[in-house]
């Protein structure tokens, strides 16, 4: 008896030693269990935005056991391997039962494989038959020795086959149920339990009736094992198996590609609002349909509080090669058009150069050979800084940039994190403010968000782990003034009172158009979100007639209005004061004598700074404003050589403002003539000849066009000619201009010298 016991004990020892030897000689390929997982990019709510299949084209969304519904795990164990938590990889009783049933009936009635044995087959190809079964059993024991029960389940839920290229319970839940596996009904848990038994036969998208019958079989067994009440079982039976078709998630596709290039994590979490992303992709695709082929669009929405990117639409239609859907225009380098102007005005306000009501000049100007024009080709003469910004006038912006210097402006942008792209070896120049540089739309969005964030700029955050890295772009008070200037801009289709009362519509907005109609931009910010829109052709082909206000702005308003519920209160800034200012001096009205106040303009100033009107470019450095002059008793001007008189002060307008002033304003600012025997420097005068004031012109029947020969008699400098405030030509002193009149109606021709001397004639053209 003792001999038999010793022999048995030795046999067990030899068997254990043999198992140890086999385990070390042929370890299980556990590294395969963690290879080949798909990468999936998730929205804020954990739903997939886009997934990337593995090298074999298999969709396998990684998921942890903790993220799977507990009732699915309970159903899986109850149905597939009731004694899973108690065996060491093999269940001898289950194997004996399966063998007996096979011998008795000649077919498989129930499987003897444990979950551990199934996992062994999932991570390593194992043949059929007795040798394959023995190897599978060995691998199951090896897995149990190396891994915990939870780790074995982890492999199963990620690699179980669910038909076709679908593997893993998370992928199956999205494919067949339309949502993740975190929350499942009893019926859904049973369905996902049974499909791996015969994936091709039980796919609910192909055989919903067969899948439902198999699911009910699982429900019946699990209800018996877990002692479900009858009501729970009947409720699960009542759920139908919907026939659905697997659709790979494809939202924020370009963002997903961007993150995949830099993040190798199996699961990439983003800050995208999935529902908003879906709405905007549909809206953009619908909106862009009216544009020519090859036109694309880009849109992003950022939450100002933390710079979280709520929506990222990199192209109009990702799947449309005709619209360059594969090119991400949010990160592409394009011309900003006029969209940098708000930050130029903000810096000028911050440095005490201007306030929002400062008098600026929109007149033909030569900046050392650079002669910019306006988008609409006309000029408006004296304008406030606020009007110049909201009307996107080019001359005042270039004037301000010239006074601040392009190097200073680009340096401040760079310090805040805005990197401009210019040709190699070039230096910042005056064209920068009109779009003569490159920038990314995502940088512009960050910059505009700073107007609602107290002047602090931070890059768009794409993932929860991205740091909020802030830099100062503008002083908080200057940022608020610019924001108010942009909010008060007339919005197409709404008057100002509507803008003020509709909280979501209190949008500080600005458009931009690049040279040649290649880029149309619109950006807007309220105190909650910032929205950026770009429309154009990614290959740089012009789209004549499509510009920011026409192409991009309507889409910006559509999106901003749909986000009205997100609007918050306007940020506070104690250093900003609303005041009335007087032109032409630009000083507060309460400190300006009435005879110096030709116009009253409302505006904002910061920190007690009340800068006067900028120095006139056409005035000598010694000239003062107001200008003191000596007058005799007959109100004639005197020179020091003529004696002394009464000092009289005259508030002067910029010299080039003359053609745009009302007669009363010109009279108020006019300097009296010198006394008869008192000779001072002459201001000179010019007179337009070639057409008389107040006449009506008509084309002769024998002529196809109507032309006039114009000349400025008395001119000593270059003369700029304007018709209804549009520049029509330049002539040297004494030279004439042959002008073709193309439009019927009233005309006002102005001849203007660089010194400010001008003449004007008004007439009518009748065709």
Nearest-angstrom CA–CA distance, 473 and 416 = 5
* C-alpha distances out from residue 489 to 392, 484, 504, 524, 552, Å: 11, 9, 15, 12, 16
Tokens 């102005």 found at: 750
Side-chain-side CA neighbours of residue 206 (13 Å): 10
The stretches of 310-355 forming alpha helices (DSSP H) are 341-350
269 bridge partner residues: 42
Please say whether the beta carbons of 567 and 489 come within 8 A. no
Which residues fall within 8 angstroms of residue 404, CB to CB, at 6 or more apart? Answer: 344, 347, 348, 351, 353
Q: Which residues 6+ apart lie within 8 Å of 379 measured at CB? A: 362, 363, 364, 395, 722, 725, 726, 727
Which 3 state secondary structure label does DSSP give 534? Answer: strand
Q: How far is CA 640 from CA 20, 31, 636, 680, 718, in A?
A: 118, 100, 13, 10, 32
Pinpoint the alpha helices (H) of 265-378.
274-288, 341-350
Using CA atoms, how far apart are residues 224 and 600, in angstroms rounded to an integer? Answer: 88
Tokens 């596709």 belong to 253
Q: Which two tokens stand for residue 301?
A: 């929405």
Largest CA distance in the chain: 152
- What angle is formed at CA 500 by the lines to CA 275 and CA 496, rounded to 5 degrees? 115
Q: How many angstroms separate the CA atoms of 705 and 741, rounded?
A: 8
Could you give the CA distance from residue 288 to residue 503 in angstroms, rounded to a whole number?
28
User: How many angstroms separate the CA atoms of 751 and 155, rounded?
Assistant: 85
**How does DSSP classify residue 732?**
-
Cis link prior to 626 (omega < 30° from 0)? yes
350 is catalytic: no
Are the CB atoms for 541 and 530 separated by under 8 Å?
Answer: no
* Given 80, 350, 725, 753, the catalytic residue: 80
Whether 80 is catalytic is: yes
Q: Between vectors from CA 286 to CA 283 and to CA 291, what angle results, nearest 5°? A: 125
Residue 72: φ, ψ to 5°:
-70, -45
Closest by CA to 189, choosing from 153, 219, 156, is 219
Please give the Cα distance from 532 to 523 (Å, whole number): 4
- Say how far apart CA 42 and CA 273 lie, in whole Å: 10
Pairing, β 456-457 against β 471-472 = antiparallel
- Burial of 219-245, coded b for 16+ CB within 10 Å and e otherwise, reads beebbeeeebeeeebeebbebebeeee
Which one, of 226, 223, 224, lies nearest residue 187 by Cα? 223
User: In 391-471, which ranges are continuous DSSP H helix?
Assistant: 394-404, 406-416, 441-450
Which one is catalytic: 78, 315, 335, 338?
338
What residues are labeled active site? 80, 338
């Amino acid at each position: 008896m003792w001999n038999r016991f010793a022999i048995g004990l030795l046999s067990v020892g030899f068997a254990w030693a043999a198992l140890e030897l086999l385990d070390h000689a042929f370890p299980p390929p556990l590294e395969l269990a963690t290879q080949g997982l798909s990468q999936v990019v998730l929205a804020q709510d954990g739903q997939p935005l886009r997934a990337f299949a593995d090298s074999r084209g298999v969709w396998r969304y990684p998921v942890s056991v903790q993220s799977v519904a507990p009732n699915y795990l309970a159903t899986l164990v109850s149905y597939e391997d009731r004694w899973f938590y108690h065996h060491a990889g093999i269940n001898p009783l289950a194997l004996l039962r399966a063998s007996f049933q096979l011998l008795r009936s000649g077919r498989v009635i129930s499987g003897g494989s444990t979950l551990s044995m199934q996992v062994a087959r999932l991570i390593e190809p194992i043949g059929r038959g007795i040798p394959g079964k023995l190897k599978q059993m060995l691998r199951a024991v090896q897995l149990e020795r190396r891994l915990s029960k939870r780790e074995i389940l982890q492999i199963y839920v990620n690699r179980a086959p669910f038909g076709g290229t679908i593997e893993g319970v998370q992928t199956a839940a999205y494919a067949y149920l339309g949502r993740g596996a975190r929350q499942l009904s009893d019926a859904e848990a049973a369905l996902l339990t049974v499909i791996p038994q015969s994936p091709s036969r039980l796919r609910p998208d192909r055989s919903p009736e067969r899948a439902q019958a198999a699911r009910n079989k699982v429900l019946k067994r699990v209800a018996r094992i877990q002692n479900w009440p009858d009501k729970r079982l009947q409720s699960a039976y009542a759920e139908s198996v919907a026939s659905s078709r697997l659709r790979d998630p494809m939202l924020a596709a370009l963002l997903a590609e961007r993150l995949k290039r830099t993040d190798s994590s199996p699961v990439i979490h983003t800050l995208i609002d999935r529902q908003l992303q879906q709405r905007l992709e549909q809206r953009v695709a619908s909106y862009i349909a009216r544009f020519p082929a090859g036109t694309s669009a880009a849109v992003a929405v950022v939450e100002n509080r933390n710079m979280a990117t709520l929506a990222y639409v990199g192209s109009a239609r990702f799947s449309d090669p005709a619209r360059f859907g594969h090119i991400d225009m949010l990160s592409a380098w394009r011309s900003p058009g006029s969209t940098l102007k708000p930050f130029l005005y903000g810096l000028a306000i911050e440095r005490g150069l201007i306030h929002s009501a400062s008098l600026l000049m929109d007149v033909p100007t030569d900046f050392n050979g650079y002669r910019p024009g306006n988008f609409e080709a006309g000029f408006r003469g004296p304008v406030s800084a606020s009007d110049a910004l909201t009307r996107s006038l080019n001359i005042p912006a270039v004037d301000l940039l010239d006074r601040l210097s392009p190097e200073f402006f680009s340096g401040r942008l760079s310090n805040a994190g805005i990197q401009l792209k210019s040709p190699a070896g070039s230096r910042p120049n005056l064209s920068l403010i009109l779009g003569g540089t490159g920038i990314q739309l995502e940088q512009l969005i960050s910059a505009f968000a700073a107007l609602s964030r107290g002047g602090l700029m931070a890059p768009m955050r794409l993932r929860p782990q991205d740091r909020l890295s802030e830099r100062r772009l503008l002083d908080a008070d200057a940022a608020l003034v610019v924001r108010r200037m942009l909010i008060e801009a007339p919005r197409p289709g709404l008057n100002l009172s509507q803008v003020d009362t509709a909280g979501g519509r209190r949008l500080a907005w600005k458009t931009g158009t690049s040279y040649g109609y290649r880029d149309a931009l619109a950006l807007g910010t309220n105190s909650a979100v910032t929205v950026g829109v770009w429309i154009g052709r990614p290959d740089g082909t012009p789209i004549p007639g499509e510009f920011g206000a026409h192409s991009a702005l309507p889409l910006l308003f559509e999106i901003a209005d749909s986000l009205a519920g997100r609007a918050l209160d306007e940020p506070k800034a104690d250093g900003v004061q609303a005041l009335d200012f007087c032109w032409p001096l630009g000083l507060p009205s309460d400190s300006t004598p009435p005879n110096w106040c030709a116009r009253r303009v409302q505006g904002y100033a910061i920190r007690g700074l009340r800068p006067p009107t900028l120095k006139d470019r056409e005035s000598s450095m010694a000239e003062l404003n107001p200008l003191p002059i000596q007058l005799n008793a007959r109100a004639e001007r005197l020179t020091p050589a003529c004696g002394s008189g009464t000092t009289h002060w005259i508030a002067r307008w910029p010299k080039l403002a003359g053609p745009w002033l009302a007669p009363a304003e010109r009279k108020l600012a006019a300097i009296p003539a010198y006394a008869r025997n008192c000779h001072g420097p002459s201001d000179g005068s010019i007179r337009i000849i070639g057409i008389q004031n107040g006449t009506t012109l008509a084309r002769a029947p024998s002529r196809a066009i109507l032309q006039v020969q114009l000349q400025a008699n008395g001119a000593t400098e270059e003369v700029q000619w304007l018709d209804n405030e549009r520049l029509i030509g330049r002539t040297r002193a004494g030279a004439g201009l042959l002008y073709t009149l193309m439009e019927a109606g009233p005309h006002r021709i102005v001849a203007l010298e660089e010194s400010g001397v001008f003449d004007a004639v008004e007439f009518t053209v009748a065709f």
